[in-house]
Amino acid sequence: MLRVVRSGFYVLGPETERFEAEFGAFCGAGAGAVGVASGTDALEIALRAVGVSAGAEVITVPNAGGYTTGAVLAIGATPVLVDVDARSLLIDPERCAAAVTSRTAAIVVTHLYGSPASVRSLREWLPPGLPVVEDAAQAHGAVADGQRVGVLGDAAAFSFYPTKNLGAIGDGGAVVSRDRAILDRARMLRQYGWSERYVASVGGGRNSRLDEIQAAVLRVKLPHLTTWNDARRAIARRFLDAVSDRVEFVTRADASNVVHLCVARHPERDALRDRLSALGVGTAVHFPVPDHAQTAFAGRVRVPEPTPCADRACAEVLSLPCFPELTEAELESAISTVREAW
C-alpha cells in the first residue's frame, strides 16, 4: 500500500496490470483478467462483452442475491428466472434449456456458496454458441469440469468484496475470459468505451476501474487463497461431522468446493436463527428473498415456470460461521451451540 502511495500512480497502473495477469493465470486464463470496481460491475461488463444488449433476455436463477438480475436490468435486457436443482441449489440445466427463446443472448451460471456448477453439462442442453457467463463471486478457486471456475464459460465475473474468498480492503471485481476479444471489449467498457485515451469506440462504457491499492492488496493475498480455501473446507467438515445428524446441509465439503459459505437448511430456519443468536452465535441468510419477489424487480423479470426449489431454499437456508480467521475455540463453541439449539 505504501509502495502505491509513494508511486503516485493510483488508477490502472502496474499493480493492476500485474494482478490481472496473476489472477488470470490462477484461473487458467492465459489471456488474463480485467479489473473492475465490483462484482456487480463485472457481471454487467462481462454480459455486454459477450454481446448482451438492450431488449435481449438473459437466463439465470432467482436465489443468488439479485446481483445478476440487477446487472441484466442495467443493460436494458430482461432477466429470465428458472428454478434450481433441489439439492445443490445450482441452475437446473433442463429448466434452463426449456426457457431459451429467440431473444436469449446469454445464460448466467452462479457458482453459489463456493459450489461449482458444471458448465459442460449445462452446454449439453443448450443450443450451440449461446454464451455462458459464470458468476464466480463466491467461488474463487473452485473446480468443475477439471478446471478452475473463470474459464468454464465464455466469460466470468468475480467480486473482491472484503468477505469473499479473495477479498480486497474495499470494493473490487474482475472479468476473466480465455477469449482475448471478450477481454478487450471488457477493458474498453470499464473505461468510458475508450479504445484509446479520449476515443470512445464501444457503446455501454462507463468508469469501473480497480484501483492500485486494491490491486496491491489482492496481489499479496492471492498466494494464500488456496490455503484459506482449505481452511474454509476444514471448518465446513467439522460442522458436517458434528451436526449432520440433526440438520440438512446444502454445503458439501469436497475438494472442488471452496465453501464461501457453510449453508444448512431447515423448515423452521427463522426460529433456529433466533435461538442461535440468543446463544451468541451469529448467522446469516443467503438469500432470503427470491428475485421475482423483490419490490425493485417487480414486473421487470420473466418467470416462465414456477420456481418451487429456489423459493423453498430462500425460506430455509442458513449460513453458519465459516471463514479462515475463525479460531478453534470459536469453532468449538459454535458447534456445541448449534447442537444445543437444534
Ligand X SMILES: Cc1ncc(COP(=O)(O)O)c(C=O)c1O
- Write out the residues near ligand X by the rule CB under 6 A: 38-40, 64-65, 67, 110, 135, 137-138, 159, 161, 171, 173
Taking CB atoms, the residue at the shortest distance from ligand X is 39
Residues 6+ apart with CB under 8 A from 110: 60, 61, 64, 68, 90, 91, 117, 134, 135, 137, 138
CB of 319 to ligand X, least distance (A): 11
Find the farthest-apart pair of alpha carbons in the chain and give their distance in angstroms, rounded: 63
CB of 255 to ligand X, least distance (A): 21
CB of 137 to ligand X, least distance (A): 3
Q: Which 3 state secondary structure label does DSSP give 107?
A: strand
C-alpha cell of residue 86 = 433441489
Nearer to ligand X (CB atom), residue 166 or residue 341: 166
Nearer to ligand X (CB atom), residue 65 or residue 141: 65
Q: Which 3 state secondary structure label does DSSP give 53?
A: coil
Which CA distances in Å does 255 have to 59, 142, 151, 285, 329? 28, 8, 18, 24, 25
What is the Cα–Cα distance from 49 to 312, expressed in whole angstroms?
34
Nearer to ligand X (CB atom), residue 210 or residue 335: 210
Helices (H) and strands (E) in the chain, counts: 12, 14
CB of 229 to ligand X, least distance (A): 16
Nearer to ligand X (CB atom), residue 67 or residue 297: 67
CB of 228 to ligand X, least distance (A): 17
Nearer to ligand X (CB atom), residue 110 or residue 251: 110
- The torsion defined by the Cα of 330, 331, 332 and 336, in degrees rounded to 10, comes to 100
Nearer to ligand X (CB atom), residue 26 or residue 113: 113
Nearest to 164 by CA among 313, 23, 279: 23
Nearer to ligand X (CB atom), residue 137 or residue 264: 137
CB of 88 to ligand X, least distance (A): 15
What is the Cα–Cα distance from 143 to 100, expressed in whole angstroms?
26
Nearest to 313 by CA among 84, 98, 51: 84
